[in-house]
Amino acid sequence: MAQKSVQTYDYICFSDLAYERDSRDSKDVEKKIKRRLKYHNLTAYDQERVDYIRILKDDLRREISLQSQSKYYHKSDSKYTDVSDFNIEKMTSDYLETYTKINEGDMVQIIKFAVYIYYMR
C-alpha cells in the first residue's frame, strides 16, 4: 500500500506559488493556499510566511533557469533532463543558510519540485 506524503505548510505554499507567473495571479494563488491549508488542518494563513516563500520561489526560479550556467548544474549521464542534473544536496545546504525559517526536509522537497517545474518541464 502506498503511503500518502505528509503535506506541510511550507510545501503547500511553495507548490501553489510555483505556478504563479506574475503579481496578477497572487490573489487567486493565495485563495488556493488558504483552501489547502484548511483542508490539511494546518495553521492559519500567514501572509508574511507566504511572502517569504514567494521570495524563495523567485530565487529558485532564477537559479534553475540559468540551467548549465547555474553553479549547481552538473549534467547527468542521461540524455534526458533529470533532477540529478542539479546538485540538490549543495542547493539545499546553501538555501538553508539563506532561508532559515524553512526546515531541511521541506527544503529538499521544495528544491526537487522547483527543478522539476522550472527545468524538466
Q: Quick: pLDDT tens for 38-81.
A: 999 999 999 999 999 999 999 999 999 999 999 999 988 888 89
Q: For residue 98, name the pLDDT band (cuts at 50, 70, 90).
A: very high
Q: Which domain holds residue 108?
A: 9-120
- In the chain, the number of structural domains is 1
In a domain, 4, yes or no: no
In a domain, 67, yes or no: yes
pTM (predicted TM-score): 0.90
In a domain, 83, yes or no: yes
In a domain, 100, yes or no: yes
Look at residue 79 in the predicted model and tell me its pLDDT: 85
Give residues with Cβ within 8 angstroms of 17, minimum separation 6: 29, 33, 50, 53, 54, 57
* CA count, 13 A, side-chain hemisphere, 37: 20
In a domain, 51, yes or no: yes
In a domain, 3, yes or no: no
Look at residue 4 in the predicted model and tell me its pLDDT: 56
In a domain, 2, yes or no: no
In a domain, 57, yes or no: yes
